[in-house]
């Protein structure tokens, strides 16, 4: 996370996922409830509005642990 361009790109991915999640209908969110939508949206808000105070280790952990899980769930949703 010492590369600020990489850090910014990772934060942008988090922000975009939260933006999209915030636009889904309640029915969609209930149907695909294996994703913790409120946490994803909340993380988007923190990342977008309090970016300068985000701890690099937290972003790194999210990117390496949670984004891969979300990617697999998104694939499942796309083919559903």
Instruction: Quote helix, strand, coil % in the chain, to nearest 5.
Output: 80, 0, 20
What stretches of 32-66 show up as alpha helix (H) in DSSP? 37-49, 56-61
Integer Cα distance of 66 and 80 in angstroms: 21
Which pTM was predicted?
Answer: 0.76
Please, are residues 19 and 38 in contact by the beta-carbon 8 Å criterion? Answer: no
* Domain segments of the chain as ranges: 4-78
pLDDT string in tens for the chain (80-residue length): 567 788 788 888 889 999 999 999 999 999 999 999 999 999 899 888 887 777 777 778 888 888 888 888 989 899 98
Catalytic residue numbers read 44, 49
Q: Are 63 and 13 in contact (CB under 8 A)?
A: yes
φ and ψ at residue 25, rounded to 5 degrees: -70, 160
């Amino acid at each position: 996370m010492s590369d600020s361009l990489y850090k910014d790109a990772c934060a942008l991915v988090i922000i975009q996922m939260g933006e999209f999640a915030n636009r889904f209908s309640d029915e969609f969110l209930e149907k695909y409830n294996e994703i913790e939508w409120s946490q994803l949206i909340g993380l988007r808000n923190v990342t977008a509005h309090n970016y300068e105070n985000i701890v690099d280790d937290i972003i790194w952990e999210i990117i390496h642990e949670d984004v891969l899980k979300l990617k697999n769930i998104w694939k499942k949703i796309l083919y559903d």
